[in-house]
Amino acid sequence: MEKKTKPHHCGASKESNTFVVQLYLLLLLLITLNISTTSQAFNYTDALSKSLLYFESQRSGRLPYNQRVTWRDHSGLTDGLEQGVDLVGGYYDAGDHVKFGLPMAFTVTMLSWSVIEFRQQIAAAGELEHAMEAIKWGTDYFIKAHTSPNVLWAEVGDGDTDHYCWQRPEDMTTSRQAYRIDETHPGSDLAGETAAAMAAAALVFKKTNPHYAHLLLHHAQQLFEFGDKYRDKYDGSLGVVKSYYASVSGFKDELLWAALWLYKATDNEKYLKYVISKAHSFGGIGWAITEFSWDVKYAGLQLVASKLLIEEKHKQHSHILELYRSKAEHYICSCLNKNNDTKNVERTPAGLLYIRQWNNMQYVSTAAFLLTVYSDFLKSSNQKLSCHGGMVGHEEVLDFAKSQIDYILGSNPMNMSYLVGYGPKYPQRVHHRGASVESYRENKGFIGCTQGYDNWYGREEPNPNVLVGALVGGPDCQDNFVDQRDNYMQTEACTYNTAPLVGVFAKFSKVEVQKMDQNMGLVASY
């Protein structure tokens, strides 16, 4: 048989050249079609940029010269004055103007964890500086709020009076009473989460700003010791938080969580021993949880503990760490619908994870984050996930995380992006005082409490200011969503909804770039 050789291009006829060009173009078209149909052409880099903008909308205090959200201005400049302490700064948690310490700390922990896990991807998207600014805005406030070793200011403002008022933060006339935890009014959950946030942030700033990282660690260690020595739930000491951010899970998860982040930040064995020795009595290896949130840290704790298993120096603790891992995998499997039927997370008909009616998207974003991190762990350690429904590879875990993210960005029955400002269709009437009232820059006239309700709250028109990057509460259990300002269960957004998305958007941004490179390489090889 005659040996066939590939013709040299220089000797090819005009017809064969035309054929090669046509084949090249057809291949390019097929690849482009494949990319757009499989991912609906979601721009994760754009979503990442927008998610970080949201934190600038939520800033309290004196805004910096480089503030990008220009419809906001300075606010809360006398916070702490009545108590003789400087509590200017920090974040408003949602659509109102109370500064709640527990959800603010969890927001900063998740932003920091996003940078720890996905620093390169965030940097590749050109957003690392913005991510670090978002973290530092929170940690600068925590440094102020931790006025002595056993005192932490827990809240500024009062939820009850705040909710009677519909005002821009710049016009605020509501009470700015500040509340603290101390030796006689302990709050181990709040102290623990704030310690976790500062320890995780110390890891973020370790190389670029070592002095600041050291300062954060100093505060984190003191707060952990305070929380561990004077144990109690903060909502028992501060009745004002009960209606808004009650600590249902107690404080044991936060103390374990803080100890684990302190171990990662300091490499000090005493913190690891705390996580190991109290694993059983504090519920670390007892609770199989199907949510991860500002209140319930167990799933995150269990996942971080699991990752210690692959390091040789932790072999002596492998028995306890394996128990942490089994609970972490229960969480992951429950999200994947691969546990026993009664132990899986419910889903909407279109496949969105559904935990509860009020602000369900917070649980979707944290789940997507944990799934993404665990997928990377499985891949890097060349392992599989063991569920009741069988073994699962890292690709399947990541694909499910992506399905949740794509639902958020518009792949859903409403064809709506629940990330405000992203895509052609998104919520226009977000339940948010500042966004729903004409900007202070447009109208410098004072707008009072009732005037805000009378003139702005009930308006049918879209909000005058777009709350870019906010993840709203989202659809109900049947994938339905009503875009109305008074529908706060669905249209209010919170900082801890968006924070976990920062890392996940960065991850999928990099994945899409890699896919494009591979496809272009495939075309080039023809």
Domains of the chain: 44-520 (1.50.10.10)
Q: Please give the positions annotated as active site.
A: 431
pLDDT in tens, 233-270: 999 999 899 889 999 999 999 999 999 999 999 999 99
What pTM did the predictor assign? 0.92
**DSSP of 401-428, one letter per residue?**
HHHHHHHHHT-STT---SBTTSSS---S
When pLDDT is averaged across residues 484-497 and rounded to a whole number, the result is 97
- pLDDT at residue 18 greater than cutoff 80: no
Residue whose token pair is 């709640």: 100
Question: pLDDT tier at 15 (50, 70, 90 boundaries)?
Answer: very low
The span from the CA of 334 to the CA of 385, in Å, is: 12
The enclosing H or E element of 375 equals: helix 361-380
- At 101, list the tokens: 């310490």
- What value does the mean pLDDT take over residues 305-329? 95
Q: SS3 of 324, please? A: helix
pLDDT higher than threshold 50 for residue 1 = no
In the structure, what pLDDT confidence band is assigned to residue 28 with cuts at 50, 70 and 90?
low
Q: Give the per-residue SS3 of 87-132.
A: CCCCECCCCCCCEEHHHHHHHHHHHHHHHHHHHHHHHHCCCHHHHH
Burial of 347 per CB tally in 10 Å (0-12, 13-18, 19+): middle
Per residue in 148-194, pLDDT (tens digit) is 999 999 999 988 888 889 999 999 999 999 999 999 999 999 999 99
Over range 491-511, report the average pLDDT. 97
Contact 251, 283 (CB under 8 A): no
Q: Is 341 or 496 the better-scoring residue by pLDDT? A: 496
Reading the block at residue 301, the tokens are 């704790």
